[in-house]
A and B are shown apart, each in its own frame.
Chain A
Amino acid sequence: MTPPADGTERSQAESLSFDWDLPHPPEKVWRALTDPALLAEWLLPVAGLELEPGAAFSFEAPAQPGWDGVVKCRVLEVEEPRRLRYAWVVGDMELDTVVAFTLTPVASGTRLSLVHSGFRPDQKRNLGGARYGWTMMGGRLAEVLAGIS
C-alpha cells in the first residue's frame, strides 16, 4: 500500500492507534475479526467479505441523514491469525483511510493493536469527512468520550 504521492509530508494528526490485551487466543480473536456473523455483533453488518487481497466488501450501518451508512472496504493484507488490513472508505468525497489489526500472542492471550490511518484532509474530501464523523457518532458521543476520558 503506497501512501498518496502528493509530495507533502504526512501530518502528525493523521492516524489513531490503540492496543488492547484480550484474555483469548489469537485464533479466537481472528474469528471475531473475520466471521461476518460475529462482525455484525460487535462492529457493523458486513456484506461480501472474502479474505483475499484486493477483494472488495462493505460494512453497512443504518442510513442516517448526511450518510448512506455504507463503508466501502478493500482487503489489503491477510495473514491469519496475525494481521488483517483493509481500506476503509466512506463515500467518494469523504474519508479514505486504512484500518490495520495486528494480533500478537502474549502470555495472557492476545494483544490486539489497531491502527486507523489516513485521516489527512485531501482534495475532494474536504467537507464530507467532518460531516460523516459527527453523523456516525450521533448523540452518544459525549457519553462515549467521557467513558474513555
Chain B
Amino acid sequence: MQAVVDEVFRALSDPTRRAIFEHLAREGEQSVRALTDRAGVSQPTVSKHLGVLKQARLVRDRPEGRQTYYRADRDGLAPLIDWMKHYAAFWAEHIDRLERLLEKME
C-alpha cells in the first residue's frame, strides 16, 4: 500500500505530468500527438511522462494504427484518497475528544 501511494505521489509531483493527467481527466481520451501539441514539450518528453503515469496506474493506453491514445483512470487516485482518509480519521477522533472536553467545560 505504501509503495503504491509513493508511486502516485511521485507521478503527480511533477507539474507537467499533473497537467497532462488533469487534462486527460477533464477531456477524455487523447492521442500522444494531441497531448504533445498542447503540452509545449517534445513528444519523447510527453511519452516519458505518460510512461510514469501509466506505471502509477493513473492512465491507460490504447494503441490504434500509428497513434497511441491515453485516458485517465480515476481509480488510480484511490491511493491518494485512501491517504486522505487518514486525515479524515484523525479529525474524527480528535473532534470526538473535543465533544467530550466541551461537556466538561464551564
A interface residues (Cβ-Cβ under 8 A, vs B): 6-9, 11-13, 16, 18, 20, 22, 24, 28-29, 31-32, 38, 41-43, 112, 114, 116, 119-127, 129-131, 133-134, 136-137, 140-141, 144-145, 147-148
Is chain B's binding surface mostly helix, strand, loop or mixed? helix
Are A133 and B87 in contact, with the CB atoms below 8 A? Answer: yes
Are A42 and B101 in contact, with the CB atoms below 8 A? Answer: yes
B interface residues (Cβ-Cβ under 8 A, vs A): 2, 5-6, 8-10, 12-15, 18-19, 22, 25-26, 77, 80-81, 83-95, 97-102, 105
Which residues does chain A contribute within 8 Å of B89, judged by CB atoms? Answer: 137, 141, 144-145, 148
Q: What's the A-B contact tally at a CB cutoff of 8 Å?
A: 117
- CB A106 to nearest CB in B, in angstroms, measures 15
Which residues does chain A contribute within 8 Å of B13, judged by CB atoms? Answer: 121-126
Are A9 and B22 in contact, with the CB atoms below 8 A? Answer: yes
Are A137 and B101 in contact, with the CB atoms below 8 A? Answer: no
Per the bound structure, the CA–CA distance linking A11 and B41 in Å amounts to: 23
Per the bound structure, the CA–CA distance linking A131 and B83 in Å amounts to: 10
Are B102 and A29 in contact, with the CB atoms below 8 A? Answer: yes
Q: Which residue of A lies closest to B25 (CB)?
A: A11
